[in-house]
């Protein structure tokens, strides 16, 4: 459990760890599966601790590890001191830490759910991008520079020409500062505005954490609303890693590395027609093997959302919703043609009623804030996709919805509400086990994700259940009492 946790937070495979500490990958695999106990008194335990001491360096990684270790002090800057802490933690026998570690990892997943739907609002300086274009770029900073030059060159592509993106290498370089993320988003949005699409193929490697990590790093791309995510369904643990980005007929970006190697990477930008054609043929073959990972909807590109919502709501599976505010669903009737109206069902509440007639439905909401309700600032989920969205409930609409919610709770065994003290920062998560998950944030111009990939569904379902376990009062009468008290307070 501890070894898997350490590998998860820095995003490495068993092969990479085995190479770093000079062990056979099969031995690491047996340690991770529990088929072999972690040996004591052997030199390689020192090597493992030393390796992770050098790799755990970001503020977020340190926070996760300190929580798992129950370490409350300041993380040491000296690698030797950090190595001793990790060694002692690995060496100390404890009862199973599975629940502790899972809760921490699920916290990491919730951070992805928040970060992935935040829209960048910076105004980046793009005046120097596209000048001083070279063929070779070195290291992490060089790859960032190469990617920006690649995107600038891609703008020369004709209308309707797609962009293909694939990498099995580390994606840490995508986690640049806000200026870098905003520059990516701006360039990609400009690229996509001329009837162009971005197709991103994600490899699924050793575990789901790797996939979540990659989706988080690609968030600025998905927020453009013009990206289509795919995944390669065969689990791979390759020693030879590759990055291949290409705009057919225009430009390609290529790099490669060996898993576990500390050698400085080289990224190549190619515009010679034959080189671009070779890269194009590789990517088209890869995409022919890939499967869709998620659908991404934005206010300017939400074709098919109405049909998706109808199908999703009608599937007879348990449903979990996590959000800050008690608010109705939007209607699923198109405003005109296939356009998504986003009008909330404030009169008949048909969506919720149809769900609870056939399946268990549980809402987890934050403790209601009277000031927010009275000011008319409660957003209605998914209405950010509608024209002039998102929509907000007036106090009167909120009270009507509250009354109806209380009646549903009183009269339906399938319907449950859990009230938690924490806030979810205005994000909305709706999951049906084995069906799919909707992830959105009711901000203007934000993106909404619908994911069906089974591994992602599993870890999001575990996260949702972990949230519910933190609820102190889970009986229906406690929720009803709190909602009735809220209604009385709003009536004053």
Express each pLDDT in 161-175 by its tens digit. 999 999 888 777 876
Residues 270 and 323 in one domain: no
**Quick check: is 13 in a domain?**
yes
Strand partners, 268: 136, 254
CATH of the domain at 471: 3.30.870.10
Residues 353 and 405 in one domain: yes
CB neighbour list of residue 294: distance below 8 Å, 6 or more residues apart: 215, 229, 449, 450, 451, 452, 453
Answer yes or no: is pLDDT of 127 > 90.
no
**Quick check: is 299 in a domain?**
no
* Residue 115 confidence class, pLDDT cut points 50, 70, 90: very low
Looking at residue 116, its pLDDT comes to: 38
Residues 179 and 249 in one domain: yes
Answer yes or no: is pLDDT of 210 > 50.
yes
Residues 460 and 359 in one domain: yes
Most confident of 90-99, 200-209, 298-307: 298-307
Pairwise CA distance, residues 118 & 110, whole Å: 13
Pairwise CA distance, residues 248 & 225, whole Å: 21
CATH of the domain at 233: 3.30.870
Which of 217, 160, 221 shows the shortest CA–CA distance to 187? Answer: 221
Looking at residue 292, its pLDDT comes to: 80
Pairwise CA distance, residues 65 & 142, whole Å: 30
From 33-37, 66-70, 94-98, 449-453, the region with the lowest mean pLDDT: 94-98
CB neighbour list of residue 401: distance below 8 Å, 6 or more residues apart: 326, 327, 328, 346, 349, 393
Residues 387 and 450 in one domain: yes
* Residue 8 confidence class, pLDDT cut points 50, 70, 90: low
**Quick check: is 426 in a domain?**
yes
Write out the residue range of the structural domain in which residue 465 sits. Answer: 305-491
Percent of the chain with pLDDT over 90: 24
CB neighbour list of residue 337: distance below 8 Å, 6 or more residues apart: none
Last residue of a domain, one of 252, 268, 292: 292
Q: What's the rounded mean pLDDT across residues 257-262?
A: 80
Looking at residue 62, its pLDDT comes to: 83
Looking at residue 477, its pLDDT comes to: 93
Residues 152 and 218 in one domain: yes
Last residue of a domain, one of 41, 69, 94: 94
**Quick check: is 83 in a domain?**
yes
- Other Cβ atoms less than 10 A from the Cβ of 363: the count is 21
Q: Which is more confidently placed, 116 or 187?
A: 187
**Quick check: is 350 in a domain?**
yes
Q: Would you list the DSSP string of 7-60?
A: HHHHT--HHHHHHHTT--HHHHHHHHHTSSPPPSS-HHHHHHHHHHHHH--SHH
Q: What's the rounded mean pLDDT across residues 190-213?
A: 69
Looking at residue 468, its pLDDT comes to: 79
CATH of the domain at 52: 1.10.260
Q: Which is more confidently placed, 2 or 8?
A: 2
SS3 content of the chain, % helix, strand, coil (to 5): 45, 15, 40
Q: What's the rounded mean pLDDT across residues 219-228?
A: 65
- Other Cβ atoms less than 10 A from the Cβ of 199: the count is 18
> For the chain, how many structural domains are there in total?
3
Pairwise CA distance, residues 477 & 326, whole Å: 17
* C-alpha count within 13 angstroms, C-beta hemisphere, residue 15: 11
Residues 347 and 453 in one domain: yes
CB neighbour list of residue 88: distance below 8 Å, 6 or more residues apart: none
Which of 212, 223, 138 shows the shortest CA–CA distance to 171? Answer: 212
Looking at residue 473, its pLDDT comes to: 77
Q: Tell whether pTM > 0.75.
A: no
Long-range contacts of 265-268 (CB under 8 A, 24+ apart): 265/138, 265/139, 265/140, 265/142, 265/143, 265/169, 266/136, 266/137, 266/138, 267/136, 267/137, 267/138, 267/142, 267/143, 267/146, 267/243, 268/135, 268/136, 268/137
- How does DSSP classify residue 115? H
Would strands 436-440 and 448-451 be described as parallel, antiparallel, or unpaired? antiparallel
**Quick check: is 25 in a domain?**
yes
Q: Which is more confidently placed, 110 or 36?
A: 36
Place of tokens 């990617």: 147
Q: What's the rounded mean pLDDT across residues 458-475?
A: 75
Q: Which is more confidently placed, 306 or 97?
A: 306
CA 33, distance to chain mean position in Å, is 26
Residues 464 and 322 in one domain: yes
Last residue of a domain, one of 33, 63, 94: 94
**Quick check: is 99 in a domain?**
no
* Residue 64 confidence class, pLDDT cut points 50, 70, 90: confident
Looking at residue 270, its pLDDT comes to: 96
Alpha carbon separation from 463 to 423, 466, 467 (Å, rounded): 15, 5, 6
Looking at residue 237, its pLDDT comes to: 55
From 234-238, 317-321, 331-335, the region with the lowest mean pLDDT: 331-335
Residues 364 and 487 in one domain: yes
Residues 311 and 443 in one domain: yes
Looking at residue 252, its pLDDT comes to: 97
**Quick check: is 298 in a domain?**
no
* Residue 268 confidence class, pLDDT cut points 50, 70, 90: very high
Place of tokens 């988080």: 216
Pairwise CA distance, residues 275 & 273, whole Å: 6
Residues 288 and 143 in one domain: yes
Ramachandran sector of residue 11 (left: φ over 0; alpha: ψ -120 to 50; beta: rest): left
pLDDT one-digit tens code per residue, 10-60: 656 666 677 778 777 777 767 766 666 665 555 678 888 888 888 887 666
Task: Dig out the tokens for 436 from the structure.
Answer: 């799919």
Looking at residue 336, its pLDDT comes to: 37
Residues 386 and 475 in one domain: yes
């Amino acid at each position: 459990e501890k070894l898997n946790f350490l590998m998860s937070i820095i995003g490495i495979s068993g092969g990479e760890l085995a190479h770093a500490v000079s062990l056979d990958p099969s031995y690491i695999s047996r340690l991770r599966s529990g088929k072999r106990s972690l040996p004591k008194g052997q030199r390689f335990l020192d090597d493992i601790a030393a390796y992770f001491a050098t790799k755990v360096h970001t503020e977020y990684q340190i926070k996760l590890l300190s929580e798992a270790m129950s370490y409350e002090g300041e993380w040491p800057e000296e690698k030797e001191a950090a190595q001793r802490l990790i060694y002692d933690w690995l060496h100390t026998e404890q009862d199973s830490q599975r629940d502790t570690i899972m809760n921490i990892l699920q916290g990491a997943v919730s951070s992805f759910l928040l970060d992935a739907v935040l829209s960048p609002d910076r105004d980046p300086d793009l005046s120097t991008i596209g000048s001083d274009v070279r063929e070779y770029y070195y290291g992490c900073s060089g790859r960032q520079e190469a990617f920006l030059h690649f995107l600038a060159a891609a703008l020369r592509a004709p209308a309707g020409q797609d962009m293909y993106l694939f990498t099995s290498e580390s994606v840490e370089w995508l986690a640049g500062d806000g200026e870098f993320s905003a520059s990516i988003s701006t360039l990609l949005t400009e690229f996509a505005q001329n009837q162009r699409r971005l197709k991103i193929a994600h490899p699924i490697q050793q575990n789901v954490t790797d996939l979540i990590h990659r989706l988080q790093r690609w968030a600025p791309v998905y927020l453009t609303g013009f990206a289509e995510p795919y995944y390669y369904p065969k689990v791979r643990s390759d020693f030879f890693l590759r990055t291949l980005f290409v705009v057919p007929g225009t430009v390609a970006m290529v790099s490669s590395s060996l898993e576990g190697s500390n050698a400085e990477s080289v990224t190549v930008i190619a515009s010679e027609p034959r080189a671009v054609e070779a890269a194009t043929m590789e990517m088209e073959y890869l995409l022919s093997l890939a499967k869709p990972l998620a659908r991404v909807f934005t206010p300017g590109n939400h074709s098919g959302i109405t049909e998706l919502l109808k199908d999703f709501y009608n599937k007879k599976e348990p449903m979990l919703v996590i959000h800050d505010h008690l608010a109705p669903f939007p209607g699923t009737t198109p405003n005109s043609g296939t356009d998504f109206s986003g009008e909330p069902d404030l009169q008949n509440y048909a969506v919720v009623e149809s769900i609870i007639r056939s399946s268990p439905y549980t809402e987890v909401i934050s403790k209601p804030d009277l000031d927010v309700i009275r000011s008319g600032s409660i957003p209605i989920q998914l209405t950010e996709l509608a024209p002039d969205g998102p929509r907000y409930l007036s106090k009167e609409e909120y009270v009507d919805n509250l009354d109806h919610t209380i009646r549903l709770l009183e009269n339906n065994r399938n319907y449950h509400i859990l009230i938690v003290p924490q806030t979810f920062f205005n994000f909305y998560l709706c999951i049906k086990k084995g069906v799919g998950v909707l992830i959105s944030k009711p901000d203007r111009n934000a993106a909404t994700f619908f994911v069906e990939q089974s591994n992602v569904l599993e870890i999001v379902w575990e996260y949702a259940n972990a949230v519910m376990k933190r609820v102190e009062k889970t009986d229906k009468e406690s929720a009803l009492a709190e909602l009735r008290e809220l209604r009385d307070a709003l009536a004053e």
